[in-house]
Amino acid sequence: MRWTVHGHRDVYASEWVRVSLDDVEIQDGRRFEHHVLHFPRASVTAVVADEAGRVLLLWRHRFIPNSWGWEVPAGWAEPGEEPAAAIAREIEEETGYRPALVRPMIRYNALSGISDMQFTAFVANGAEHVGPPADQSESSRVEWIRAAEIPKLAAAGEIKDGPSLAALMYYLAVEQDS
């Protein structure tokens, strides 16, 4: 069953997000306005892994849910920037580590029911410490954590961020031993 979109009107826009109300019709003929969040730039995340079976995580506070948790490096590509270059830049800015190799793992829709936001999750290897994180506002600390601990941290509610969970679980299930 495919919805028919008859049109849309923007109700808010900034450099970060655009909100529209779309005039949609569902299969039974009902027609209504559905809110949609549009994001102007490509979203990227990365699992930074080392040969010792560890991943690099950031401990940070998120003000919207008012909670602390572990996250992977993430961000947006700048206009004209390739997603792989964007995540390499984000890793270095947020952690102080420069990856030698970045390759895509999976691309997914983050909030399919209300948003066009798409993430590309990468795996990064060969990270070399080049100094302190350039953006000190991104986290309270950066730590290498054994990959085997990730499911326990997630179960304990210490990894709450959806894009981080998606990237880490895909890494553990598909990429870790490949």
Prediction pTM value:
0.90
pLDDT of amino acid 139: 78
CB atoms within 10 A of CB 146: 11
pLDDT of amino acid 160: 95
Residue 110 CB partners (closer than 8 Å, separation 6+): 43, 117, 118, 119, 162, 163
Using 70 as the pLDDT threshold, list the residues of the chain that sit under it: 178
pLDDT of amino acid 178: 65
Strands 43-48 and 118-125 turn out to be: parallel
Q: pLDDT tens digits, residue range 7-43? A: 999 999 999 999 999 999 999 999 999 999 999 998 9
Whole-number percent of the chain with pLDDT over 90: 89
pLDDT of amino acid 54: 97
Coil, strand or helix at 63: coil
Show the CA angle centred on residue 109, arms to residues 111 and 75, nearest 5°: 90
